[in-house]
Chains A and B, each alone.
Chain A
């Protein structure tokens, strides 16, 4: 058997993990998407291995399967390809989630396969990501798939992008080649909307610039991949501007033994934007009633303020009629209100979208019926250029559609708030989830009619 790049005997002393066990850290969610050949599995394996997140029994299982079926080559894809059909056919069916930690951060990796249902899988895996890694083979440079991946990351508004130029060992650690690839990217990046892009020359197989700085790239002064993952600033990835609480559940104790709870009437939900403070004025949608936050109730005691994405229960001053699917909002940065919607949708089902059909639309905690009025265009996923109006959107297509809902939606453009700007479409009857939607910015915002609702 050839030497494994991940020998069991070299498993690191787990001091770092023991340290992390005692400190509160935050979580970074990232996704990698690519095909079998670009070194994606090797990179994930390298991150897991070097952060001591691979265990002896997992490595032994890998080595056993390498001896039996792999001609002696350890195949890290076997770590994530857990289903029988995947092992038998050598393919990855679905998004697999992996977890690892360093003393600085915890990480959730959404590992998405590249070959089939690429778009659907990447949209699923990347929807909640803070960061996306585009792997580029240094020998090949920017290919179609690199562009597709980058465009999808931009469309999904993933705040941070890393271009990992892999297999640098196979181009002689050439700075010139690295700069060429960087230039290829920078040609089309300005057309996209990505706030933060980092280029890192690596060899996933040998570990250069993945966890430890490489001696082969003296010309590269930037961080290693892991260092970047550990330190990239994600504090502002949530929208803290306009307060939004989609009501999930009305909290009314039935027969409370505590007399203080006789009149308890709370509205529970996860804050989807902004900050709420006790005593502040809020508006309840769709009714438009204005009232005051009496208490921000939590299991651990009342708090003076709470922010996105905390889960809270609000008690309001006046007895307003509020139920699941309603939204409680703050005074500034008002959301849009309309039953005519424009959105980019990623189509996720074998049955194509044809205009005229009715679906269930789930937006925050609110479900309404929606009819697709028109397909405005389909996007070329490699350029984000609109193409002429197609008759339908097929599986893995992304396009702009016009929808009409049975009652108005209170929403933000996806570009300002991923939680209040997104929705899914559900087919009636089968209840299959058929599309992921990203709303375009509203044309008119909620009107605050009452005098005391100062904008």
Chain B
């Protein structure tokens, strides 16, 4: 290899920085969706690389379902403060109270209710583009997602009518009311994300590492014992050494038994993994087309 050659992380990095700067160049009011999860942690570092030494030219936005792991929100707030970034949090609870989001009878999960909450935040701040950390390797519907994903005035994704994306030329043109989602990590895999976290020495929430936790067996996976959906008398509860592989709500995130205490351990564990990352998310299992349906309705 000559010295004029990029390794895989450098290639993915320059591609992602290019996407970020195109967003800054083409949109009036962009925002960056930051949850505190591993993918959006990488997004923030890429934003620093794209825009420093200037301030980040876009605020951070998070939709808080009220069912987040507390560790995640603590991390989110601390990281935003450290970067001097503006963090906007919009809560599903508030959206329910104001009538923006309406739970179905008996609906406990806040997953679906994130959608109207997010769309209301987009409207409130007149965001024309939201940068998200979705990756194509996560899920079949996402494998067909564009870097610049067009959403109509209802926030909907139409998979049959996507703008073709050729070379690195992104079409960011919108009519009033329409908006865009941009996914700089489109070509990253779970392993790339962790390798980047290692190379950049990025901090991540503690729940990604092995810890002891009280778990309840539900729908074929171990979920954290929580107050929202407490264990029923017949359910098996155990103290296990676990970690999260992907973070959703506390009521739906499957925990994997793992001794991984460092980023190196996690990288080796993923390399040897025999199930996919989303295999531990109950929200994706509800039907074969669960993700597709949520994306069509405006999910990121």
Contacts and interface: CB of A to CB of B under 8 A. Distances in A.
Contacts of A172: none
A240 B168 contact: no
A254 B54 CA distance: 7
A43 B11 CA distance: 26
Interface in A123-144: 123-124, 127-128
A97 interface: yes
Given A97-B143, A419-B168, A424-B166, A55 B276 contact: yes
B39 to A, nearest CB: 15
Contacts of B73: none
A393 to B, nearest CB: 15
Nearest to A240: B4
Interface string A69-94: 00000000001111111010000011
Contacts of A275: 4
B8 interface: yes
B8 A431 contact: no
A25 B7 CA distance: 5
Interface string B157-183: 001101111111101011100000000
B220 to A, nearest CB: 11
Nearest to A365: B25
A436 B166 contact: yes
Contact of B50 (A55, A85, A108, A268): A268
Q: 10 tightest A-B contacts by CB?
A: A82-B140, A24-B7, A431-B173, A248-B21, A311-B17, A18-B271, A17-B271, A299-B49, A436-B166, A21-B271
Interface of B: 1-2, 4-15, 17-18, 21-22, 24-25, 48-55, 136-137, 139-144, 159-160, 162-169, 171, 173-175, 186-187, 189, 191-192, 195, 267-268, 270-276, 279, 288-289, 292
Contact of B144 (A83, A108, A254, A261): A83
Contact of B139 (A20, A82, A94, A127): A82
A364 to B, nearest CB: 8
Given A26-B5, A311-B49, A424-B169, A248 B18 contact: yes
B292 A311 contact: no
A24 B12 CA distance: 12
A426 interface: yes
Interface residues of A, number: 80
B8 A26 contact: yes
Interface string A10-23: 01001001101110
A22 B198 CA distance: 10
A178 interface: no
Given A248-B18, A307-B4, A418-B167, A83 B53 contact: no
Interface in A279-328: 297-300, 307, 309-311, 324
B162 A94 contact: yes
13 contacts: A18-B268, A21-B271, A26-B1, A82-B141, A82-B292, A83-B144, A84-B288, A106-B192, A270-B17, A299-B48, A424-B166, A432-B163, A433-B171
Given A26-B8, A27-B11, A268-B21, A57 B164 contact: no
B21 A82 contact: no
A253 interface: yes
Given A252-B54, A362-B171, A93 B159 contact: yes
Contacts of A184: none
Counting chain A CB atoms within 10 Å of each CB, the highest count among B5, B8, B17 belongs to: B8
A85 B292 CA distance: 11
Counting chain B CB atoms within 10 Å of each CB, the highest count among A96, A249, A264, A269 belongs to: A249
Given A21-B191, A57-B279, A424-B171, A84 B289 contact: yes
A422 B167 contact: yes
A251 B163 contact: no
Given A123-B164, A128-B168, A365-B22, 18 more contacts: A14-B274, A21-B191, A26-B7, A80-B140, A99-B189, A101-B189, A106-B8, A251-B53, A251-B54, A253-B54, A264-B53, A268-B50, A270-B168, A309-B11, A310-B14, A362-B171, A433-B163, A433-B165
Contacts of B273: 14, 55
A106 B15 CA distance: 15
Given A14-B272, A235-B2, A84 B24 contact: no
Interface in A425-455: 426, 431-433, 436
B276 A14 contact: no
A120 B166 CA distance: 10
A14 B4 CA distance: 31
B164 A436 contact: yes
A97 B136 CA distance: 7
A200 B121 CA distance: 54
Nearest to A24: B7
A235 B7 CA distance: 11
Given A93-B160, A128-B167, A256 B17 contact: no
Nearest to A17: B271
B8 A85 contact: no
Given A57-B276, A93-B160, A249-B25, A123 B17 contact: no
